[in-house]
Amino acid sequence: MTVSKKVAVILLVSSVGIGSLYLFQFSRQYFIQPPNAENNLIAIAPYRVIPTLPSVTFSQTPYDMSVLLISYHMPGHTLQSELLNFLSNEFPNGPQMTKLQRGKSLYRKRNHPKNTKCAQIVFRLGTLSVQNSPDLFCSPEILAKMFLEGGAYHGPSPVDKGTKIIHLVQNPFSLSVSNYHHLAEKRLKGNFWTKHQNPCHVCYGKKDDGDNFADLVIPTLFKQRMFPILHQIVSRQEFDRIADTCHSIFQKNEVLKKSSFHQHLLQLEWAEGLRLATAQLIIQGYENGGDILRMANNIVKLKETEATVKSSTRYKEINKILQVYTMSLDDFIEQPGTTFKKLLDHIFDHIPEQLEQHKIEVSAKFEREIRENKTERLRMLQDREILGVEQKIFLREDPIFGPPLKQIELLVAAALQNSATLGTAIPEITERSSFSSEIKVPNDICC
């Protein structure tokens, strides 16, 4: 069916809690495609609306790919805002945020439809989009179709060259300690989620009849083949032991029998509070937890999807690519200018080199902004890195939390090394651990 007049399309997009309705108006030609069509594995709303004309151009030179930035938890979301502002303001010819999105997550974080097991991420050619803590539990084939064909523009067009994904990850020990300090702050006000959520709840939905988070992530992490020497990253037994530890702490103390998660973190000794907060960040898949296992799952899923696209004859024929570039939040904190330059090199690696000087200047500006006019949250992140050394060592030596977190730490290091070999990273490839020593990544850890 063809509609040659102004069309209003309503999409449901949510970033926190209840969704928000966004009204999209287009004044070009469209065709409406039913969700059961052969080339549409993922139903977006009840119908997808796909423009048949080229995407929006920016200044004289259009950006011919889509860019998606994925981040996790509070530290990643904080940095994400800084990155989006700089990219949009300093590169008007590059990918741009849409006025309707304005840096908000494309789909509700930590959520997915039961039929697909994947967040429905929809974006347009030439745009810079963000997705916080996405659920990517479906097959690589469905993910490839979503990233390269599921958006509101993507299709077999010589203008559209594919999608670049910036995957912003963090060392799991650093993430655990930062999470604990953030949630244990006394100044948290209002109906903050720590005051009413159960940190040990492992099922999707408020009742226990939803999917168990372990059933969604463990198959990928226990049997993955993309990083050969890390075959069994996290087992179901390790997940269950962490869940048992969580239940042994939460509301078991007589004084805290009816207390909230937040009250536990305020009143428990830091060792027990850290274990409780870290358990929540590992096993609570629904609501606000689970980002450590979600991040690990997505590292593997994105790697599998990238390999699927590379081996696909169909995507070669229509000249579309998927590039996944993994970056470390810790590197942005320690070397903001240098790391931001690597980000720009990846986003604009297919653009002529006359941008090189501008990229250098913008990276220097980004460094000054972070170091001289540092936002309060980014300053707190650095402070937590200094204060949390003892707590990271404690987690590393903990018999319940240490083994799976060390494996995920190696997985993060492997993903960073794999991205570094693309040609935009430092000559010697190492991943900094959560304290002063370095983790050397074996040469054969990636395939």
3-class SS at 106?
Answer: coil
Q: How do residues 63-93 score in pLDDT, each as one tens digit?
A: 778 888 899 877 666 677 778 777 878 877 6
Residue 24: which pLDDT band, with cuts at 50, 70 and 90? very low
57 close to 25: Cβ distance less than 8 angstroms: no
- Which residues contact residue 427 at a Cβ distance below 8 angstroms, ignoring those fewer than 6 apart? none
50 vs 271, more confident: 271
In terms of average pLDDT, the best of 137-146, 152-161, 197-206 is: 137-146
3-class SS at 198?
Answer: coil
pLDDT score recorded for residue 108:
81
pLDDT at 296 over 60: yes
- Per residue in 249-275, is it b (16+ CB within 10 Å) or e — as a string? bbbeeeebeebbbbebbbebeeebbbb
339 close to 332: Cβ distance less than 8 angstroms: yes
389 vs 354, more confident: 389
**Closest Cα to residue 29, out of 55, 8, 58, 50?**
50
152 close to 320: Cβ distance less than 8 angstroms: no
Minimum mean pLDDT range among 229-233, 264-268, 291-295: 229-233
164 close to 230: Cβ distance less than 8 angstroms: no
pLDDT at 183 over 50: yes
pLDDT score recorded for residue 375:
55
> What integer is the mean pLDDT of 325-329?
92
Q: How do residues 332-376 score in pLDDT, each as one tens digit?
A: 878 888 999 999 888 887 666 667 888 888 889 888 887 776 555
Strand partners, 425: none
C-alpha to C-alpha distance for 239 and 213, rounded to whole angstroms: 10
Whole-Å CA distances, 49 to 55, 111, 122, 128: 14, 23, 11, 20
C-alpha to C-alpha distance for 194 and 360, rounded to whole angstroms: 42
> What integer is the mean pLDDT of 130-142?
92
Looking only at the bridges linking them, the beta strands covering 66-71 and 128-132 are: parallel
Looking only at the bridges linking them, the beta strands covering 20-26 and 7-13 are: antiparallel
> What integer is the mean pLDDT of 35-55?
31
User: Which residue, chain included where needed, has tokens 């916080």?
Assistant: 132
- Which residues contact residue 249 at a Cβ distance below 8 angstroms, ignoring those fewer than 6 apart? 264, 268, 272, 275, 276, 279
Q: How do residues 197-210 score in pLDDT, each as one tens digit?
A: 899 999 987 777 77
